[in-house]
Amino acid sequence: MGASQWSWQVPYEPDIAAALERARQETYDQGQFYRQPPNEQARSMTEEEFVAADIAYMRASMAEAFGDDVGEIDDAMARASWHAAHVDVRDPDSLLESQPFSRTHSVIDMSPSSISPVPDDELQALFATLRPTPDAVEAAIADRSLTGYVRDHGRYVVTYTDGSPSTIVFVGHSGD
């Protein structure tokens, strides 16, 4: 599928981690994320049955592509897939847990350690101010001039209305 660019805006609050959690929850509540269908085969088998079947499938696929000398295959991905299929999705964190390889292609994929503020020099270069308006930030997202983030990392901008902080806009690029 490839990674996706996304953005999400929440009302300003000084606690960035709390604002991020609000953005993640709103995104989840509104269904604005990629949801991988649960692996029904994994759900219908014990962990050991699924791991054995998945390893056999991988071994056969690799042998067909590369020859019979496949060697050992690590079962960590098969086990992670089995566990993911058994997660009861009820919030942003359990959604991420249920699809560890595809992620959600949204702000849900972010944690406080994977976001950072847009540096002042970039704000100045993009907006000619350190206090951009919500409309200016939205325009920069639309024309893709607000960049600088890498896959599975996001950035945020505090926007201002009439000189006061009004929103926090999170932007990023994530997913498989």
Q: Between the CA atoms of 125, 146, 144 and 91, what dihedral angle is there, to the nearest 10 degrees?
A: -170
For residue 88, what are the CA distances in angstroms to 18, 40, 50, 147? 24, 14, 19, 35
d(CA 169, CA 137) in angstroms, rounded, equals 8
Instruction: Give me the mean pLDDT over the 109-127 stretch.
Output: 96
> What residue type is 38 in one-letter code?
P
Q: What is the pLDDT of residue 72?
A: 85
Say what the pTM is: 0.89
Is residue 148 very low, low, confident or very high in pLDDT (cuts 50, 70, 90)?
low
- Are the CB atoms for 33 and 108 separated by under 8 Å? yes
pLDDT at 99: 94
CB atoms inside a 10 Å sphere around CB 50: 22
pLDDT tens digits, residue range 79-109?
A: 999 999 999 999 999 999 999 999 999 999 9
As a whole number of angstroms, the distance between CA 11 and CA 104 comes to 23
State the average pLDDT for the chain: 93
- At 78 the pLDDT is 94
Taking alpha carbons only, the member of 136, 130, 172 closest to residue 153 is 172
Q: How much of the chain, in percent, has pLDDT values that exceed 70? A: 98
**Domain extent listing, the chain:** 4-33+106-174, 40-98
147-165 average pLDDT score: 89
By the 8 A CB rule, do 13 and 105 touch? no
Question: pLDDT digits over 32-90, tens only?
Answer: 999 999 999 999 999 999 999 999 998 888 888 888 777 788 899 999 999 999 999 99
